[in-house]
Chain A
Amino acid sequence: MAGSTPASLSADAPAAGVVQARKARSISPAIETWRRFRRHVLAVSGAIVLLIMVLGVLVGPSIWAVPINEIDFTAKLQGPSLKHPLGTDDLGQDLLARMMYGGKISLAVGFAAMMVALVVGVLVGAVAGMASGWVDAALMWLTDLFLALPTLPLLLLVIYLFRDSVKQVLGVEGGAFVLIVVVIGGLRWMPVARLVRAQFLSLREKEFVEAARALGASKVRQVVQHILPNALGPVIVVGTIDVATAIIFESTLSFLGLGFPSDVPTWGSMLRDAKDYLDIAPHWALFPGAAIFLTVLAINFIGDGLRDAFDPRRVL
């Protein structure tokens, strides 16, 4: 879990081209960011790849309507063919169908864990940034404490301890999903919190916040209406990178056998199952591995593009 907080982010107003502003009637900062994002070739390709992935896992199963657990020993460990475009595993199950099903879980885990990390991080960071003094200090100690925890052993311990009780409440698959999302999100909020706090510390001194205060805006309104929207740019960037990290973590957990139950395919668990057959059926590991690789790379490029688009000092 790399501490991947981009360094050179600023909350200043987007330095919009005046010429551009004249042409269109009204250019919102969001449109301006989109215009800058479009010029980032890698980011746009990343976005297209991710879009294809998402569409593939959502729409794909209805086009390629092969059950994920249809066992056919006559066709086990086959390479790609017309009948099985991505080949089969050791039970003769169709890999394309399993990839699409697993991708849905992997992507869902990624996005859900990012949301958890963002919500917790923004809350902690905002409270710390607004309430200076001991509240701020205590929350930052807590953040440092979480940052100092060794992630993987803790993850394993938490899942080992709580897997069964959560399973009883939410069912096998749902329980695993919630547990994994909460645990990954719960261990990824610290960079967000630090970032949001730093943003708040600088933004709350800005003249437009003071102006809002002088014109009768309550504290909550100052935060929600005036400070938070200006702090969101960098947070979105960190969020995209968190999606990638969460997908990798889910793969790690599944690979170690602590993620979803073994009969539920995810990209990570498919890798784990494939590892014993690497020499006779390399395609089995290759496809889920490539899917993880492509998705994470695409999301990272999107994050890069967003960071550049939000950075007013860059001319794009």
Chain B
Amino acid sequence: MAETLLDIRGLKTWFKTEDGMVRAVDGVDLRIDRGETVGVVGESGCGKTVTARSVLKLIDMPPGRFEAGTILWQGRDLIPLDQDEMNQIRAREIAIIFQEPMTSLNPVYTVGDQIAEVIALHQKLSPKQAMAGAAEMLRLVNIPNPQKRVHDYPHQFSGGMRQRVMIAMALSCQPKLLIADEPTTALDVTIQAQILELMQEMKEKFGMAIMLITHAMGVVAETCQRVTVMYAGKVVEEAPVEALFGDPRHPYTQGLIRSIPRIDRAVSRQARLESIQGTVPSLLNPPPGCRFAARCRFATDVCTQAMPPLKEVAPGHRVACVL
């Protein structure tokens, strides 16, 4: 059993709005071991991003607040830490890359300055050494001609290149965990593959763990060892990747997998790609019971009574469903 890096238990991140409490994350358990890639999947609005930002405490408070739960980072709870203490952990231990590479870089500084800033912030280095480190990071993420490119501004890079720069920035202090919040969503397909490949390569080089947030099931199948499926602020299923695709237990997971276009099943005129009917329910004062019940074709009376807890159906495979 590998060492546990991150262990989120019963995390509830709620947002206070004028209409009431939005329970964006409502009792999430998530474990990430050293060196493994964990996928977090679900539709938009399932609380994936809020979970990720909660780990780094990037949630604005107010309106957000941690209602319950613990975020154990190598055994230490992050929730009571203040921003200064969090700054010791950010980048050095846990780093994050965002969805939007086009706007995640500051337009008024060269990319070298920005990477060097992160390095200088966390390591006692001279500006010259930090700049050399920045060029080295650019080389690692396969940006051609890094010695020259460090002096370029973000507008001189393409979207895929900027995401590479973001990865270089995030990895510049060799974090133990990289949170990738839909890192490829804004990029076109060929670039997506390159970025995922790069992340894989970096993972092997630095031995870090990755928390990959995405709604592309194909990406999950290709890169992750374990997968956590979230729905409406709750974890509905968690399993090793083979088990999840081979034997999905939760109707929501089944629906997600069925809605992947398959090349081996010819799309005839009649057979349309399957989808899950309906949308994610409002997280404002959700009803008791399983949150998926309204969209679930197996739903019974039991489902609307109480939310079924996660139970283990196979080693490492847990599912929150009465079925």
Task: Please indicate the chain A residues that have their CB under 8 angstroms from the CB of B96 in the complex.
Answer: 214-215
Scoring A residues 211 to 226 as 1 if CB is less than 8 Å from chain B, else 0, what string do you get? 1111111110100011
Scoring A residues 29 to 72 as 1 if CB is less than 8 Å from chain B, else 0, what string do you get? 10000000000000000000000000000000000000000000
Inter-chain CA distance A212–B109, complex, in Å, is 13
**Min CB gap A295→B, angstroms:** 31
Inter-chain CA distance A229–B106, complex, in Å, is 10
For chain B, residues 19 to 67, give those with C-beta under 8 angstroms from any C-beta of chain A: 56, 58
Inter-chain CA distance A226–B118, complex, in Å, is 13
Q: A211-B166, A213-B58, A230-B107 are in contact. Are A218 and B84 (CB under 8 A)?
A: yes
**Min CB gap B110→A, angstroms:** 7
Q: Which of B58, B92, B106, B109 has the most CB of A within 10 A?
A: B106
Is B169 in contact with chain A by the CB < 8 A criterion?
A: yes
Task: Please indicate the chain A residues that have their CB under 8 angstroms from the CB of B109 in the complex.
Answer: 229
Task: Please indicate the chain A residues that have their CB under 8 angstroms from the CB of B156 in the complex.
Answer: 16, 18, 21, 26-27
Is B73 in contact with chain A by the CB < 8 A criterion?
A: no
Chain B residue nearest in CB terms to A17: B155
Inter-chain contact A29/B170, CB cutoff 8 Å: no
Task: Please indicate the chain A residues that have their CB under 8 angstroms from the CB of B86 in the complex.
Answer: 216
Task: Tell me which of B5-13, B145-153, B238-246, B295-303 binds A.
Answer: B145-153
Is A144 in contact with chain B by the CB < 8 A criterion?
A: no
Task: Please indicate the chain A residues that have their CB under 8 angstroms from the CB of B83 in the complex.
Answer: 218-219
Scoring B residues 96 to 114 as 1 if CB is less than 8 Å from chain A, else 0, what string do you get? 1010100111111110000
Q: A21-B155, A210-B98 are in contact. Are A215 and B91 (CB under 8 A)?
A: yes
**Min CB gap A22→B, angstroms:** 8
Is A83 in contact with chain B by the CB < 8 A criterion?
A: no
**Min CB gap A134→B, angstroms:** 13
Inter-chain CA distance A27–B92, complex, in Å, is 31
Inter-chain CA distance A28–B154, complex, in Å, is 10
Q: Which of B83, B96, B153, B154 has the most CB of A within 10 A?
A: B153
Scoring B residues 139 to 174 as 1 if CB is less than 8 Å from chain A, else 0, what string do you get? 000000000100111111000000000100110000
Is A279 in contact with chain B by the CB < 8 A criterion?
A: no
Q: A14-B155, A214-B95 are in contact. Are A29 and B84 (CB under 8 A)?
A: no
Chain B residue nearest in CB terms to A22: B156
For chain A, residues 1 to 20, give those with C-beta under 8 angstroms from any C-beta of chain B: 12-16, 18
Inter-chain contact B121/A217, CB cutoff 8 Å: yes
Inter-chain contact A216/B92, CB cutoff 8 Å: yes
Chain A residue nearest in CB terms to B103: A207
A214: contacting residue among B58, B105, B106, B117, CB under 8 A: B58
Task: Please indicate the chain B residues that have their CB under 8 angstroms from the CB of A18 in the complex.
Answer: 156
Inter-chain contact A229/B104, CB cutoff 8 Å: no
Inter-chain CA distance A55–B155, complex, in Å, is 37
A210: contacting residue among B58, B151, B169, CB under 8 A: B58
Task: Please indicate the chain B residues that have their CB under 8 angstroms from the CB of A211 in the complex.
Answer: 98, 104-105, 166, 169
Is A206 in contact with chain B by the CB < 8 A criterion?
A: yes
Is B122 in contact with chain A by the CB < 8 A criterion?
A: yes
**Min CB gap A254→B, angstroms:** 40
Inter-chain CA distance A219–B86, complex, in Å, is 12
Is A277 in contact with chain B by the CB < 8 A criterion?
A: no
Chain B residue nearest in CB terms to A212: B106
Inter-chain contact A207/B118, CB cutoff 8 Å: no
Q: A14-B155, A26-B156, A208-B103 are in contact. Are A216 and B122 (CB under 8 A)?
A: yes
Is A25 in contact with chain B by the CB < 8 A criterion?
A: yes
Task: Please indicate the chain A residues that have their CB under 8 angstroms from the CB of B148 in the complex.
Answer: 25
Scoring B residues 170 to 188 as 1 if CB is less than 8 Å from chain A, else 0, what string do you get? 1000000000000000000
Task: Please indicate the chain B residues that have their CB under 8 angstroms from the CB of A221 in the complex.
Answer: 121
Inter-chain contact A214/B90, CB cutoff 8 Å: yes
Inter-chain contact B151/A25, CB cutoff 8 Å: yes
Inter-chain contact A13/B107, CB cutoff 8 Å: yes
**Min CB gap B273→A, angstroms:** 32
Instruction: Please give 11 more A-B residue pairs, beta carbons under 8 A apart, in addition to A216-B87, A218-B83.
Output: A13-B107, A25-B152, A26-B151, A28-B110, A207-B100, A211-B166, A211-B169, A213-B58, A215-B91, A215-B121, A217-B121
Could you list which residues of chain A lie within 8 angstroms of chain B, going by C-beta atoms?
Answer: 12-16, 18, 21, 25-29, 206-208, 210-219, 221, 225-226, 229-230
8 A–B contacts from the bound complex (CB under 8 Å): A14-B155, A21-B155, A28-B110, A211-B104, A213-B90, A215-B118, A216-B122, A225-B117
